[in-house]
Amino acid sequence: MGQLPAIIRFVVWRFPFVEPTMVRIAQIEAGSIADELELEIGSRIIRINGARVRDNIDLTFLLADDELELEVDHPGGETVIYEVAKEPGESMGIVPAPDTIRECANKCVFCFIDGNPENVRSSLWLRDDDFRLSFTYGSYVTLTNIGPKGIQRLVDQRISPLYVSVHATEPQVRIDLLKNERAGLIMDQLHLLTEHGLEVHTQVVLCPEWNDGPHLDRTIDDLWSLGDAVLSLSVVPVGLTRYNVNRPVRLLSPAEAGRAIEQVERARWRALSERGRGWCYVGDEMFLIAGRAVPGADYYDDASLLENGVGAVRDFLATLEEGLAGAPRLHGRRVLIVTGASMAPFLRERAETLTEAIGAQVRIREIRNDFYGEMVTTAGLLAGRDILAQVGGEHRPGDVILVPAEALNGDDLFIDSLPLEELAAALAPAHVVTAHHLLDGLRQALESEAA
């Protein structure tokens, strides 16, 4: 890097009532500019080139300049202003602490959090509605907690693509769904974003007798009218639990799911003919509710919406089928594959093929979701205690029990806060493994035993 052109210009003392910054230094990379400046972990970055640093997006945006004036609050109360000149693209070496998450201001009639039992994993109570998470991780936001200045910031900083939960474009319908008067502004907000070149993925959570039928047609047409900047529209069925079903939203019937598929299919044909891609999709669960076959891979275009449940089943099956030729051999063993009600039929159809491929007896164990209620069928929401209660007694020494990794968080806790290690201990001497892809889990079982 050479000689560091950084100068401490002056030092002041900041009193507690002075406006704090939202960005705190969590780590400093060794040998970086921040390291040579002797910035401290816990320091707060107040301003860069005179602009207030509100969050980590501001930090990234403002640090892109090559000549910087940084105003930094040190933990001892000292405020120091640094001048830095750096090479184009050179990192300052500042790793910020995570932003405080902006929470949801809505009272959605279908909110899944309202369907949580009391002992659910603590993070599941967070009602996030943060555009920064939308931009960074692809989570869907409603934009109801962003005013005109916030929308202008999105435009100025080119924060795109965003993932927006639209649900309905008719103002009163959306207000009724979200229980928020600002919800009716959605088309004005989307017009402003798309007119300035920002791109958005959109979503509808379909609630029978609320935003379906002609309301869904209106939403599809309104979003289509915004042009190519609306990259996609996903229509997914409302998900409820035994704690909030019929309060006041009910689940879709098979016939209602079928009609929604047909509405989306009409929009898809228009999109394919006019723009060369499907654009509008229904979530996998919609096909399962309607009792229809999950489409082939070509339905999903570039498969960019897997996290929204659009194409996840087809992706899982394709990955499984592609990996069978190189599947690990577990000669003479028994393998118990744990899953939810949604995926169980697909795996049962392939159990014999899997048995032949890996040389082991494969059984599929569909777990009933007593924690949330039987209407919740996804493997990612299986509770550890439900697995333990329903698998316990079926296993024997030497069995491999494969649990879906989607049911665990980063700390290896199930949705009901049961640790994976506790489940594994209770099911010992069977061998419990987890993986996002089934065959990878079997490989991990062999590798861990060999080690």
Last residue of some domain: 310, 338, 355? 310
392 plus 436 within the same structural domain? yes
171 and 294 in a single domain? The answer is: yes
Q: Are residues 260 and 323 in the same domain?
A: no
Q: CA 238, CA 289: separation in Å to the nearest integer? A: 11
Give the integer Cα–Cα distance in Å for 286 and 311.
11
For residues 264 and 266, give the distance between their C-alpha atoms in angstroms, rounded to a whole number: 5
For residue 161, what are the contacts with CB-CB under 8 A and spacing of at least 6? 135, 198, 199, 200, 201, 231
Predicted structure pTM score: 0.87
Q: Are 310 and 236 in contact (CB under 8 A)?
A: yes
Are 211 and 338 contained in the same domain?
Answer: no
Query: How far is CA 157 from each of CA 3, 134, 160, 198, 244, rounded to the nearest angstrom?
Result: 32, 14, 9, 10, 39
Examine the domain organization and report whether 293 and 361 are in the same domain.
Answer: no
Give the ranges where 199-340 is alpha helix by DSSP (H). Answer: 214-224, 254-275, 284-290, 312-323
CATH code, 231: 3.80.30.10
- In b/e form, how buried is each residue of 204-226, taking b as 16+ CB within 10 angstroms? bbbbbebbbeebbeebbebbbeb
Number of compact structural domains in the chain: 3
Residue 101 falls inside a structural domain: no
Task: Please check whether residue 179 lies inside any domain of the structure.
Answer: yes
Boundary-marking domain end, from 34, 68, 96 = 96
Specify the amino acid at residue 281: Y
Shared-domain flag, residues 271 and 131: yes
- Is residue 198 within 8 A of residue 155, CB to CB? The reply is yes
Side chain identity at residue 268, one-letter code:
R
Q: What is the pLDDT along the chain (451 residues), one digit of tens a residue?
A: 444 444 444 544 444 444 444 799 999 999 999 999 999 999 999 999 999 999 999 999 999 999 999 999 999 888 999 999 999 989 999 999 998 888 898 999 999 899 999 889 888 877 888 888 777 778 899 999 999 999 999 999 999 999 999 999 999 999 999 999 999 999 999 999 999 999 999 999 999 999 999 999 999 999 999 999 999 999 999 999 999 999 999 999 999 999 999 999 999 999 999 999 999 999 999 999 999 999 998 999 887 888 888 998 998 888 888 888 787 887 778 889 999 999 999 999 999 998 888 888 889 999 999 999 999 999 999 999 999 999 987 777 778 899 999 999 989 999 999 999 999 999 988 888 887 777 777 777 666 554 4
**Could you tell me the maximum CA-CA distance found in the chain, to the nearest angstrom?**
74
Q: Measure the CA dihedral 293/294/298/300, to 10°.
A: 150
Which residue among 41, 62, 96 closes a domain?
96
Same domain, 242 and 282: yes
Domain CATH code at residue 387: 3.40.50
Residue 341 lies in a domain: yes
Partners of 7 in beta bridges: 83
Q: What span, in angstroms and rounded, lies between the C-alpha atoms of 205 and 187?
A: 17
Show the CA angle centred on residue 341, arms to residues 397 and 260, nearest 5°.
Answer: 160
Residue 425, C-beta contacts closer than 8 angstroms, at least 6 positions apart: none
Backbone torsions φ then ψ of 402, nearest 5 degrees: -100, 115
Residues 301, 326 share a domain: no
d(C-alpha 227, C-alpha 246), whole Å: 36
First to last CA, the chain: 44
Do 162 and 274 belong to one domain? yes
The pLDDT tens digits for 365-415 are 999 999 999 999 999 999 999 999 999 877 777 788 999 999 999 899 999
Which structural domain range is residue 86 located in?
Answer: 6-96
Q: Could you tell me the two tokens for 15? A: 């009193």
Q: Over the stretch 237-256, which tens digit does the pLDDT of each residue have?
A: 999 999 999 999 999 999 99
- The per-residue pLDDT for 304 is 81
Residues 298, 333: one domain? Answer: no
